[in-house]
Amino acid sequence: MKNRFIPLVAVAAGLAIVGCSSDDRSSITTDLQTAASDVVDAAGDVANNAAEALARNIATQQGEEQFKNAGHELDGPLTCDAKVQDGVSQIDIACTGTTKAGGAASLTGTTAEIPGASVVSLDGNFTGTVDGTEVFTTQQLGG
């Protein structure tokens, strides 16, 4: 429904500009360009947020499995953060948790893969530590 109103707003803006002075037309043009830029930025934010959420979820689930396979089963889920960097050229991942033995578990890594191609794995470089000691490195979480 909203999409049907966009052409009407554009036509109305065009008609409003015709009867304006050159200063007013310039101001309106600038305002329209700013609004269009804001829409593009918001769409980019939505895409980044979705990529971060997918990466975070994959890292949480698959990271827990990696710790278990390394002999350091976790006592509860990992808590993960993911941050899109450099215009979606990479996603940095940082997770923390606690092992059943009480150790501080940490998973860090970076992926250049935008999540979505696979909802169960993530390619990149990842390292798991317990109490600061490396317990695994992998180029893929899950799979």
Give per-residue pLDDT as tens, 16-64.
555 556 665 455 544 444 444 444 444 457 778 888 888 899 999 999 9
pLDDT at residue 121, as a whole number: 86
pLDDT at residue 131, as a whole number: 98
pLDDT at residue 132, as a whole number: 97
Which pTM does this prediction carry?
0.67
pLDDT at residue 103, as a whole number: 98
Residue 13 burial (CB < 10 Å; 0-12/13-18/19+)?
A: middle
What mean pLDDT do residues 110-137 have?
A: 87
Which residues neighbour 123 within 8 Å (Cβ) at sequence distance 6 or greater? 111, 112, 113, 139, 140
- Looking only at the bridges linking them, the beta strands covering 121-130 and 79-85 are unpaired
Question: What CA–CA distance (Å, rounded) separates 126 from 111?
Answer: 8
